[in-house]
Chain A
Amino acid sequence: MRNTIVPIVIVVVTLAGLWYAAVVPMNIKTALTDAERGGAVVDPSGAKDRRNLSPFSLVAKNTFAIRQTFNQARPRLPAPHQILVELWNTTANKKITSKRSLVFHGWITLSATLLGFAIGTGLGIILAVGIVYNRAMDMSVMPWAIASQTIPILAIAPMIIVVLNSIGIQGLLPKAIISAYLSFFPVVVGMVKGLRSPDPMQLDLLKTYNSNSVQGFWKLRLPSSIPYLFASLKIGIAASLVGAIVGELPTGAIRGLGARLLAGSYYGQTVQIWSALLAAACLAATLVAIIGLLQRITLKRMGML
C-alpha cells in the first residue's frame, strides 16, 4: 500500500501543478477586463487592445491580476480548488433530493448504467455462447457486432431515444439500452475468446469421458472463461457509464450527470461542467474498482490467483 501511495501522490501533485499553471494564461484576459472595470490600471489598457496579445506577455505585464485568475465566477478553465468546492457544495451540502445535488444526478446516471450493464453483459454472454456453439452465428453475428461499434454513439443515441419515446418507452430504459449498446461488445469479444480458451487436450479429455456438450460447457468452457469475463466487465462497466451519460444529452437536459454537463455548457457554467466530469470519472473509477474486487474474490475462490 505504501509503495503505491507515494507515486500516486506525486502524479496527482504534478497534475495539479500543471493545471494551476495553465489556469493563469487561460483566464488572464477576463481577469484583466474585470480588474479594469474595478478601476485598476492595466497595461495595455482597453480589452480591444489586449485581444490579440499573447496571454503570457499579459501575465508578465500585469502580475497583480494572477490572484484573480483563480477565483472567477465563469473562468475558461476553473482552478482545481474551485471544482472541489463546487463538488463539496453539490454533494455534502445539498439534500440528495435536491435538483442541484450531484448525488441525485449521479444516482440517476448510475441506475441507468447498472441496468444497461446488466442487459449488455447478459446479451454479450448469450451472443458469445451462440457464436461458440453455432457455426451460423459464428459466421454472421461477429461482423454485425463489430459494425455496431463503428457507428458513433452520439449519432445513434438520439434516434434510440426518439424511436423508443414514440412507442411510449421513456425514462430509465432508453438510457440503459444505449448503455447496453456500448457494453455488450467487450463482453462478446472476451467471452468468445474465453469459451474457446480450453486447449485441445482438455477437450479430448472430456471426449474420453463421453461427456455431452452441456457438461462440457458448465465444467470446462464456462470456468475457463471467467478470467476473460472479468477483463471484459471492467471495460464494459466504464463503457456503460459513457453510454448512460450520452443517453442523457438528447433528453433535454433534465436529470443525470449528462444533463449537468449539458446545462453547464448552455449557461457557461464551466465549474459545473468540470465538477460533473470529475464526478463521472470518480464514479467510473469506483465501478471499475468494484469489478476488480469481485474479480479478485472470485479467482481466489477458484484457486486461480
Chain B
Amino acid sequence: MDTTPVIAASHLSLTFETADGPVSALTDINLDIKKGEFVSFIGPSGCGKTTFLRVMADLEKPTGGSITINNMSPGEARKKRAYGYVFQSASLYPWRTIGRNIRLPLEIMGYSKFEQTNRVNKVLELVDLSDFENKFPWQLSGGMQQRASIARALAFDADILLMDEPFGALDEIVRDHLNEQLLELWQRTKKTIGFVTHSIPEAVYLSTKIVVMSPRPGRITDIIDSPLPNKRPLEIRDSLEFIEIAHRVREGLRSGHRSE
C-alpha cells in the first residue's frame, strides 16, 4: 500500500464570521489519511466534522493552516474531479430517472454517450439497483435513493469518496444493510473514504480509522486506528474488540464534553 497520504491536514483552522462575532468551527486539525483508508469522523453537532469534510471538498475555505488532496490544494483537486461527494439527503433531481441522475456528472464532465451508458450500468450493478434505472426517485424508498446517490458519486471513478451522514435519515435496519453494502463496495473499489456520522456503532463497524471530534472550538480529541480485520460480518459488533473500540470512542466523546 502506498504510504504517502492522500489527504494531509496540518494546523488547519476555520473561523466563520457571523453577526454574533467569530465562531471557531475548526482549530488546529492535524490528520493524514492514507490511500484506501476508511476514515470516520464522529462527534456531537457543532464539532466541525461536516465542515472538515466540506473543506476537503473545497466547499469551504480554511482560514489557517494547510490541507492537500493528492498533493494538490482542495480547489485544484475539485477541478480535477478527485472526489465524489454524498450528501445527507440523496438530493436526486426529481425530473430525472435514476439512470439519468447517475448520468448527470458524466454529462457535465463530457463523457461520450457510450461511455456514459457503460458507467451507469456498472455503478447501478455495484449498488444493486439495475432494475430501477428507468424509475423516478419518488418511486424508490429512502434507502434506495441514498444508494442511487452513492452510485452517482461513484460513476466518474474518483478515488476519494466523501460522505456526509449519508444514512442519518434512515431507520436502523436499512442502515445496517447499507453499512454492509458500503463495506463490500469499499473493499471492491479500494477507494479512500471520508465518512461523517453521529453513530458510534456505525463508525466502529465501518472504519479503519476513527477520528473523534468535539465542539467549541471544533477539534480532534482522539484518533483510533481500528484493529478490526477488513472483512467484517455484522456479528463482529458483538465481539470484545468491537466493544472495546466503541468504549474508547465513547470516552473520547465524553472527555470532549467535560472540558467545556
**A residues with CB within 8 A of B:** 199, 201-202, 204-211, 215, 219-220, 223, 226, 302-304
Point out the residues of chain B lying under 8 angstroms from A205, CB to CB: 85, 87, 91
Mask: chain B, 75-109; 1 = CB below 8 Å from A; 0 = not = 00011010111011101011111000000110111
Choose one: A206, A208, A215, A223; the contact of B95 (CB below 8 Å). A223
Binding site for A on B (CB under 8 A): 57-59, 78-79, 81, 83-85, 87-89, 91, 93-97, 104-105, 107-109, 136, 138, 156
Point out the residues of chain B lying under 8 angstroms from A223, CB to CB.
Answer: 93, 95
Contacts of A199 in B (CB 8 A): 91
Knowing A202-B91, A204-B85, A204-B87, say if A215 contacts B108 (CB, 8 Å): yes
Given that A201-B87, A204-B85 are known contacts, is A211 also in contact with B108, CB under 8 Å in the complex?
Answer: yes
List 26 contacting pairs A-B, 8 Å CB cutoff, sorted by A. A199-B91, A201-B87, A201-B89, A202-B93, A204-B59, A204-B87, A205-B85, A205-B87, A205-B91, A207-B59, A208-B59, A208-B78, A209-B104, A209-B105, A209-B156, A210-B78, A210-B79, A210-B81, A215-B108, A219-B107, A219-B108, A220-B93, A223-B95, A226-B95, A302-B95, A303-B96
Give chain A residues whose Cβ lies under 8 Å from the Cβ of B83: 208
Of A199, A211, A303, which is in contact with the most chain B CB atoms at under 10 Å from its CB? Answer: A303
**Taking A208-B57, A209-B109, A210-B78 as contacts, is the C-beta distance between A304 and B94 under 8 angstroms?**
yes
Chain B at the A interface: mostly helix, strand, loop or mixed?
A: loop
Neighbouring A residues of B59 by C-beta, 8 Å: 204, 207-208
- Residue of B whose beta carbon sits closest to that of A208: B85
- Cα-based distance from A224 to B93 in the complex (angstroms): 9
**Alpha-carbon distance between A220 and B59 when the two chains are bound, in angstroms:** 18
Measured between beta carbons, the chain B residues less than 8 angstroms from A302 are: 94-95
- Assembly CA distance A223 to B81 (angstroms): 24
Instruction: Give A48 Cβ to nearest chain B Cβ, in Å.
Output: 72
Give the chain B neighbours of A304 by CB distance below 8 A: 94-95
- Are B97 and A209 touching (Cβ within 8 A)? no
* Chain A: minimal CB distance from B40 (Å): 20
Known: A202-B93, A210-B79, A304-B95. 5 other contacts (CB 8 A): A205-B87, A207-B78, A209-B109, A219-B108, A223-B95
Whole-angstrom distance between the alpha carbons of A209 and B108 in the complex? 7
CB distance from B131 to the nearest CB of A (A): 17
CA distance A207 to B156 in the complex (A): 14
Shortest CB–CB separation between residue A305 and chain B, in angstroms? Answer: 10
Alpha-carbon distance A207/B105, docked complex (angstroms): 10
With a CB–CB cut-off of 8 A, which chain A residues contact B91?
Answer: 199, 201-202, 205
The distance in angstroms between the C-alpha atoms of A302 and B95, with both chains bound, is 5
Q: What's the Cα separation between A216 and B57 when bound, in Å?
A: 18
Q: For the complex, give the distance between the alpha carbons of A209 and B82 in Å.
A: 9
CA distance A226 to B94 in the complex (A): 12
Q: Known: A201-B87, A204-B59, A303-B136. Is A209-B95 also a contact (CB below 8 A)? A: no
Q: In the complex, A294 Cα to B57 Cα: how many Å?
A: 41
**Cα(A92)–Cα(B146), bound, Å:** 60
List residues of chain B with CB within 8 A of the CB of A211: 108
* A-B interface, 6 closest residue pairs, ranked by CB to CB distance from nearest: A303-B136, A302-B95, A211-B108, A208-B85, A209-B105, A201-B91
